[in-house]
């Protein structure tokens, strides 16, 4: 198995997520904190807006968009298949669920969904992303 950037980054991300307020609730859902782990910005940017950007009706603020993308990244990177990673913003919340990883060539990929709740209405968007050699996740179009 290759180490390099991804191998060095994952333990750092796990430690940073713990320190930044990532907790598990009694319902088995992972709650994202309000901060992005240092150095994770480049990986979140690689999501190219993620699934949440495909939901134009949400009209998320910049802060809520950041929370949503952080949740997508955490679901893809570390959440067990089927375990929701939830986030809460101002008047909006979301839940990201990634399926079990699968291989496409030499890349690890995951299907995932992002459900947004705005004004009591749920809207789900589905897609898939694959991990690049540099450790970043890139959505499949």
Looking at residue 26, its pLDDT comes to 35
Across the range 79-102, mean pLDDT stands at 96
Query: What is the total count of domains within the chain?
Result: 1
Task: Find the range with the poorest average confidence among 38-47, 59-68, 75-84, 104-113.
Answer: 38-47
Assess whether pLDDT exceeds 70 at residue 1: no
pLDDT above 90 for 7? no
Instruction: Report percent pLDDT > 70 for the chain.
Output: 66
**Per-residue pLDDT reduced to its tens digit, 118-127:** 988 999 999 9
Collect all residues with Cβ–Cβ distance below 8 Å to 71 and sequence separation of at least 6.
32, 85, 86, 87, 94, 95, 96, 114
Q: How confident is the model at residue 57 (pLDDT cuts 50, 70, 90)?
A: low
pLDDT at 54: 79
Give the pLDDT confidence score for residue 58 in this predicted structure: 62
pLDDT digit string, tens, across residues 19-47: 333 333 334 444 444 444 555 566 677 67
- Cα 130 vs. chain centroid, distance in angstroms? 13
Of the pLDDT bands very low, low, confident and very high (cuts 50, 70, 90), residue 48 is confident
Lowest-pLDDT choice from 22-31, 80-89, 128-137: 22-31
Return the pLDDT at 47: 78
Domain interval for residue 36: 4-139
């Amino acid at each position: 198995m290759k180490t390099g950037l991804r191998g060095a980054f994952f333990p750092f991300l796990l430690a940073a997520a713990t320190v930044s307020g990532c907790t598990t609730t009694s319902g088995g859902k992972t709650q994202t904190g309000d901060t992005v782990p240092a150095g994770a910005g480049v990986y979140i940017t690689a999501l190219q807006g993620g699934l949440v950007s495909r939901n134009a009706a949400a009209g998320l603020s910049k802060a809520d968009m950041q929370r949503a993308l952080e949740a997508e990244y955490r679901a893809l990177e570390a959440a067990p298949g089927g375990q929701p990673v939830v986030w809460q913003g101002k008047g909006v919340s979301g839940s990201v669920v990634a399926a079990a990883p699968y291989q496409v060539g030499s890349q690890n990929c995951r299907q995932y969904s992002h459900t947004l709740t705005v004004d009591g209405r749920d809207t789900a968007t589905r897609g898939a992303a694959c991990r690049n050699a540099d450790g970043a996740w890139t959505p499949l179009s």
